Amino acid sequence: MTFENENPFALRSTLEYEMPDFNRINDESYLPAFYAGCEAQLGEVHEIIKQDEVTFENTIVKMELSGQILMRMMMVFYNKSSSDTSDALDAIEEEIAPKLAAHMDEIRLNQKLWGRIKYLYDNRESLNLNTEDAWLLERYYRDFTHAGAHLTDEQRESLKVLNEELSKLETQFGKNLLNDTNDLAVVVDDVAELDGLTENEIAACAAAAKDRGLEGKWLVGMVNFTGNPLLSRLTHRGLRERVMKNSLLKGGRDNENDNRQVLLKMVKLRAQRAELFGVKTHAEYVLQDRNAQNPANVHNMMKQIAPAAVRNARAEGAELQKAIDAEYEQKAIDLVNSIFKDSDASALLANLNMVTNNDGSTKSLEEIAEEHGVSAEKVAEIRSKAPSSSSTPAGFEPFRLESWDWDLYTEKVRMAKYNLDTAAMKPYFELERVLFDGVFFAATKLFGLTFKERKDIKTYHPEARAFEVFNEDGSKLALFIGDFYTRDSKRGGAWMNNLVDQNFLLGQLPVVCNNLNIPKPPAGQPTLLTYDEITTLFHEFGHALHGMLSDVKYPRFSGTSVERDFVEFPSQVNEMWLSWPEVMDNYAVHYETGEKLPQEWIANLKAASTFNEGHSTTAYMAAAILDLAWHSVTSDQEITNVEEFEAKAIADYGLDYAPVPTRYRSTYFSHIYAGGYSAGYYGYIWSEVLDADTVEWFKENGGLTRANGDHFRNTLLSRGGSLNSMQMFRNFRGRDATIEPLLKRRGLI
């Protein structure tokens, strides 16, 4: 049989929406398609440069049409390898990563092809191109210059070597991180240590342990960021500490998964590559093709936020410490009262607060007892009865707030200040209800979209569900794939991928995937979400909408194919609808009783909207600064200690506050070392400036209405990358964004 007959990537799929044929795709499908796809695209490029005449149609449009086999294979492979990897897929990725880098270099460093593109660009005023065509030519010119097509022969050869080595290291970083993340899951032998978790959460921990052959135990898995959602409910301080410390170790241990040397090599190679382009650092090289333009502009924005963020975080920490002290003292007093029935305890009780001081001058319980005539026997009795495994440590030794205490005591203070127990809300946030009556409902109200689950469509994994999406007039819009649950074979975090890009050139409708990492409950039990998980669900669906509402001619511009520091903007805007009254009233319903989330709780949620923002902003900012610091390193700088570099970078920005560690340490910062965000993690808050200003526009113009949805869709979402991103924002908003709405939202002014 020929390749065309036997390989599922050889020809365009004949299934609905050109959905990849997962009945035929297997591990053996990828490599033949990769090599055949590379060969075919190089042949297509050769046909382009053979043409004597140089036109937009026979050069730029033909480039858009090239590489279809390779693109079909890559979109499926990289979605599969991130959501459901295996040893076989890891081996394939290791093989193709450097070869793909070399293939792209062979195209973008081809001097004859570059000559044609440059000729068209230099004569663009005489070509009479429409707006989208002109921007496509602009982007190809930028792509090729950013890739190094304009460099000397010697420089281009050096660049090829650097790109190939970097691609290998990026793959190695991701593989190491996934392995170490799985290895660092915390095994719990005694279910009592899981005090504070719900029955479903405990059952999920038991199921996770069973999946690894640990029958009769419980497993707390690691997540991609620092910490763990369960820390907000675990009362066992020792277990909280183990979970937090393990989360901070990912990829940073002396073992086969150690990412420290990997990232140090990447930093040096990226700096060397930047020098080939005439700049000193990778950050300068990357940002010249982003909205921010240069590192100085990013720092100017960040410095407006960082001081207020850490100031708020420290104030929040002081409040949490007061709650710890008060809880500790009350437990101590209650215990002493239970032991003493006469007046000889009064002096001791009056001075117990001395034990909880945090100025280093505290006295021990024995010293205070001796001063007030309390017998050693009584002190021993108190010691023996003191709690040792809940929220207080053994005996009555005071404890300072640590990072593993933050989430638990945040919930306690939130409850005390706002009468808001986020754990008690989970029964009102059942996945199916949130998805259909929240996420989909908001999209219907705003854009007129409707959704129909298609259980007959086979996806890449049994847990990945397909939904057909229709416009208001009933016409087909897209296919949406939702893959919501965590598994050992899925990388951490949440993301959006495309399996098919919308474009008119090939007449294709989009197939869009959302991947999340929600813990899967035991069979038959409902999936109850945290508020953060709902936020992630709405956020990722914002990316999906950007892909599904795309209405462009060229694949190069489809959906989220925008500047990296703009791509998070539409997804962040979509988060606003999760708390919009009409939407929340529709989905926040108790899964057993049908009772709606009490209005008092909703009011309390709103009142607490800036609560703990100091912590979240500081943790994010520290990671963003860490990214910029690593990518501001020059090639002649010798860095040998990753931990010391991290600490200094964060301290130099005034963000060093131990109870609030960076959201990502370098060794598990896959965004910047394996995910395309190098020197770009700032983009989340850069985009949030636009997002916050956009939310103000929606509020000023009536909120969740079809008219507003149409305006947002027509001026921005549907345009993909077919226009300069900031111009699209101006077309939508009528002006440039201002930072004040963001500062107000985060409680920083």
CB-based contact 97:167 (threshold 8 Å): yes
Residues 350, 345: Cα–Cα separation, whole Å: 9
For residue 468, list its beta bridge partners: 452, 479
| Residues contacting 588, CB < 8 A, separation 6+ | 425, 428, 429, 438, 596, 597, 602
Residues 515, 492: Cα–Cα separation, whole Å: 10
Q: From its phi and psi, is residue 315 left (phi > 0), alpha (psi between -120 and 50) or beta? A: alpha
Annotated catalytic residue, options 284, 540, 563, 646: 540
Number of H helices, E strands in the chain: 33, 7
The two three-digit tokens of residue 474, written as one number = 């009933």
The two three-digit tokens of residue 427, written as one number = 């029964």
The two three-digit tokens of residue 588, written as one number = 């926040």
| Residues contacting 624, CB < 8 A, separation 6+ | 302, 681, 682, 684, 685
Residues 59, 504: Cα–Cα separation, whole Å: 18
CB-based contact 578:438 (threshold 8 Å): yes
Place of tokens 């707006």: 131
CB-based contact 540:497 (threshold 8 Å): no
Nearest to 393 by CA among 246, 515, 500, 236: 236
Interior CA angle at 711 toward 705 and 715, to 5°? 155
The two three-digit tokens of residue 461, written as one number = 């994994």
| Residues contacting 31, CB < 8 A, separation 6+ | 92, 95, 96
Helix, strand, or coil (residue 735): coil
For residue 511, list its beta bridge partners: 479, 500
- Per-position b or e across 526-539, b if 16+ CB within 10 A of its CB: bbbbbbebbebbbb
For residue 71, list its beta bridge partners: none
The two three-digit tokens of residue 228, written as one number = 């763990």
Q: From its phi and psi, is residue 410 left (phi > 0), alpha (psi between -120 and 50) or beta? A: alpha
Instruction: Convert 28-39 into a string of H (helix), E (strand) and C (coil).
Output: HHHHHHHHHHHH
Residues 124, 412: Cα–Cα separation, whole Å: 63
Please list the alpha-helical segments (H only) found in 109-226.
111-122, 131-147, 153-183, 199-211
Residues 52, 479: Cα–Cα separation, whole Å: 42
The two three-digit tokens of residue 386, written as one number = 């003191």
The two three-digit tokens of residue 362, written as one number = 């505290």
Strands 476-485 and 511-518: parallel
Residue 633: CA count within 13 A, CB half-sphere? 27
- Taking the CA atoms of residue 352, residue 358, residue 361 and residue 365 in that order, the dihedral angle to the nearest 10 degrees is 30
Q: How remote is the C-alpha of 497 from its chain's centroid?
A: 13
Residues 743, 483: Cα–Cα separation, whole Å: 34
Nearest to 268 by CA among 665, 680, 637, 648: 637
95 catalytically annotated: no
Q: Which helix (H) or strand (E) holds 651?
A: helix 642-652
Residues 615, 145: Cα–Cα separation, whole Å: 41
Residues 733, 563: Cα–Cα separation, whole Å: 18
Residues 223, 212: Cα–Cα separation, whole Å: 17
Active-site residue set: 540
